[in-house]
Chains A and B, each alone.
Chain A
Amino acid sequence: MNMTVQDNPMPPGSPNTPSRELGKEYLEDIALKSRPVISIRFRLFLAFLVIFAFSMIVALWSIYALSGIQAKILFLEAAGDYLAEIQQARRFEKNFLLYGTNLEDSMQHLQTAEEILQKNKNTIEKILGRNSIRGMSLQLSNYHKVLEKVGEAGDTDERNRYEPELREYGGQLVSDATNFVEKEREAVEGALSLSRRVPFYFLGILMVLIIVITSFLVKNILSTLNRFLEYTNRIGEGDFSPILPKRKYRDEFSQLGLAFNHMIRELDKRHKILIESHKLRAVGTLVAGVAHELNNPLNNTMLTAGLLEEDFGRLPDEEKLDLVRDIIKETDRSKVIVRHLLDFARASEYKIVAMDLEKLLEGSIRLVHNRVKLAKIDLQIKLTPDLPPVHGDEQALQQVFINLILNAVDALPPKGKIAITDSKSSQGGFIEIKITDNGAGIPEHILPRIFDPFFTTKVKEKGTGLGLSVSQGIVRRLGGNITVESRVGMGTTFTVLLPTTEVPSSVSAAADS
């Protein structure tokens, strides 16, 4: 039995079925899928096809050139024969004139030469032109005629009279034939030398062709690979936006893109689940915190009231009053906790306006001035002039900065330092305000929890553990973020990232949509 995995699909609904739903089209995938297919396989095939076609052309040309040379050589032989016949005819002509031998032989050779000429008429015409062949055959017939006249002549004087004419036509014939053979030999040599050079030209062009095609393909593939490298980096940094097509066609990389999009969706889903579970944990902390925080003043109230009830008749008025005051004080404490809780879950509308950061920070510092002075803290504010306005709710943002400054104050021993500085955010349209203290720092293991509601490191009655989570909530609702960096023994920096307003106009927006 030889069955591959693909041949044996898992039944639907089995636990190992991939979560990708068949038939479900994702919007971001449609663009990728709708591109015409030009696969890498096809491009490679095309590249090799071009090279093959070029080689084939050269091969066909070689065959053609060789057969041409062969024909030329055959023709050269004919030309040689023609020359030989003419020369032979002239030799017999001379013998006849000198020794009176048979002229018939000369005629015979002339006849053969004429036959060769007729037989190769077309080829000669091609090589030497129409006029030359006409001239050649004219000379041949002229010579023939003169030769006949010489043969018919009765005496030596008459023969001698024809001699110059005979010599002229004969010489012309021989030189023409020689010329012709020479020309033909040159042509053959030219063709041979060309077919010797052509392989080198071919190799050169082939080399260039291979380099061009390879670099094109490599560039094509490498640029896409680099793009995917960027995608992995981007995804690693938590940007889960889908991959969209950058080319006009699709290939195996598009499949990879689809797989990436699938991965992104899965990651995003898991990420959301993670955030959700984190939120749930925060809610858990919140609930536990509320229970504990509220239970203390409630318990105090109950104990005090219980005692008042028990001893109501016996206690002097002064002590009764003391008990009642305790009850009021503890109820008040509960009220503060509930108010903070409401701040935390505040769903009221923010009045979002463009604000001068410097004024905002100075206002916040004025409000905490006394606390800072009492704690003997050196608070310095160093801002770049002409900061862009930020948008947000003035009171809410003031609350954020007061929270952060007071947190720093609480974390610092006397003579500690707090610095408020600004820096341009790497994200456009945002500004960063940094609040740095030189306190003891926050241990790494509790750093991830400091924004959780009711998480506090402060002693009882000094903090509810809601300050940072409320602040984070406010800033996030404005589109910003608060981050923290801390090193034990070195200090802590809280960075508030706020969106800037390019147009300083009042923007009224309902917060918490």
Chain B
Amino acid sequence: MNRNLRIMVIDDENIVGKRLKPALEKDGDIVEAFTDARKALERFSEQQFDIVVSDIRMDDIDGLEVLEQVLARSEKTKVIIITGYATVEVAQEALVKGAFDFIAKPFKPNDLRSIIDKAAKELDK
């Protein structure tokens, strides 16, 4: 499989990016991981990404803000929100604001992969 999707992973937990990057790159995608949402958004200005996976609860800029800013810059980018705890309210808010889907912690690499696959299909349309 060689999709060559550009995927951005934002989570202030260092390990998330560290582990997701090799896991997702196995599918042939190009993955960049950030622990600082501000830096991630700066990078997004330089480089378009197909998929953004962002944690919702971060200190400086939270996931919902990342979602808004990403969609403002690139409408077709699919944003997947990682929630610390799956509350209906937060998930709904994310979906209303245009998130593609959300995934609750803790999850396995495969759980995220299946959502990314769905997003890839959407992107192909």
Binding site for B on A (CB under 8 A): 288, 291-292, 295-296, 298-304, 306-307, 310, 326, 330, 459-460
Q: Can you list the 4 inter-chain pairs with the closest CB atoms, starting with the nearest?
A: A306-B108, A299-B106, A291-B85, A299-B105
Check B57–A326 contact: CB distance below 8 A: no
The answer for the CA separation of A300 and B84 in the assembled complex, in Å, is 12
Question: Contacting A291 at CB < 8 Å: which of B13, B59, B84, B109?
Answer: B84
The answer for the CA separation of A310 and B113 in the assembled complex, in Å, is 13
Minimum C-beta distance from B16 to chain A (A): 6
Check B57–A299 contact: CB distance below 8 A: no
For A302, the closest partner residue in chain B by CB is B106
Residues of B within 8 A of A307 (CB): 19, 22-23, 109
Q: Quick check: is B50 within 8 A (CB to CB) of the other chain?
A: no
Identify 19 residue pairs between A and B in the complex whose beta-carbon atoms are under 8 Å apart, listed by A's number: A292-B85, A295-B105, A296-B105, A298-B106, A299-B16, A299-B105, A300-B15, A300-B19, A301-B106, A303-B15, A303-B108, A307-B22, A307-B109, A310-B23, A310-B110, A326-B15, A330-B15, A459-B59, A460-B13
Binding site for A on B (CB under 8 A): 12-13, 15-16, 19-20, 22-23, 57, 59, 84-85, 105-110
Minimum C-beta distance from B56 to chain A (A): 10
**Among the interface residues B20, B59, B108, which one has the most CB atoms of the partner chain A within 10 A?**
B108
Minimum C-beta distance from B7 to chain A (A): 15
Check B109–A300 contact: CB distance below 8 A: no
For B108, the closest partner residue in chain A by CB is A306
Check B23–A300 contact: CB distance below 8 A: no
Residues of B within 8 A of A326 (CB): 15, 19
Q: A303-B20, A307-B19, A459-B59 are in contact. Are A295 and B109 (CB under 8 A)?
A: no
Question: Contacting A303 at CB < 8 Å: which of B12, B59, B84, B109?
Answer: B109
Check B23–A460 contact: CB distance below 8 A: no
Check B13–A296 contact: CB distance below 8 A: yes
Residues of A within 8 A of B15 (CB): 300, 303-304, 326, 330
For A329, the closest partner residue in chain B by CB is B15
Check A306–B110 contact: CB distance below 8 A: yes
For B110, the closest partner residue in chain A by CB is A306
Q: A296-B13, A300-B13 are in contact. Are A306 and B109 (CB under 8 A)?
A: yes
Interface of chain B: mostly helix, strand, loop or mixed: loop
Residues of A within 8 A of B20 (CB): 303
For A300, the closest partner residue in chain B by CB is B15
Number of A-B contacts (CB under 8 A): 58
Question: Contacting A298 at CB < 8 Å: which of B19, B105, B110?
Answer: B105
For B14, the closest partner residue in chain A by CB is A300
Given contacts A296-B13, A303-B16, A307-B23, 11 further A-B contacts (CB under 8 A): A291-B84, A291-B85, A292-B57, A298-B105, A303-B20, A303-B106, A303-B109, A306-B19, A306-B108, A310-B109, A460-B59
Minimum C-beta distance from A457 to chain B (A): 10
The answer for the CA separation of A5 and B107 in the assembled complex, in Å, is 67
Check A295–B84 contact: CB distance below 8 A: yes
The answer for the CA separation of A330 and B105 in the assembled complex, in Å, is 14
Minimum C-beta distance from B93 to chain A (A): 15
Check A296–B84 contact: CB distance below 8 A: yes
For B103, the closest partner residue in chain A by CB is A299
The answer for the CA separation of A299 and B107 in the assembled complex, in Å, is 6
Check B84–A292 contact: CB distance below 8 A: yes
The answer for the CA separation of A296 and B20 in the assembled complex, in Å, is 14
Residues of B within 8 A of A295 (CB): 84-85, 105-106
The answer for the CA separation of A298 and B23 in the assembled complex, in Å, is 18
The answer for the CA separation of A304 and B17 in the assembled complex, in Å, is 11
Residues of B within 8 A of A460 (CB): 12-13, 59
The answer for the CA separation of A298 and B19 in the assembled complex, in Å, is 13
Residues of B within 8 A of A292 (CB): 57, 84-85
For A287, the closest partner residue in chain B by CB is B85
Minimum C-beta distance from B21 to chain A (A): 10
Residues of A within 8 A of B22 (CB): 307
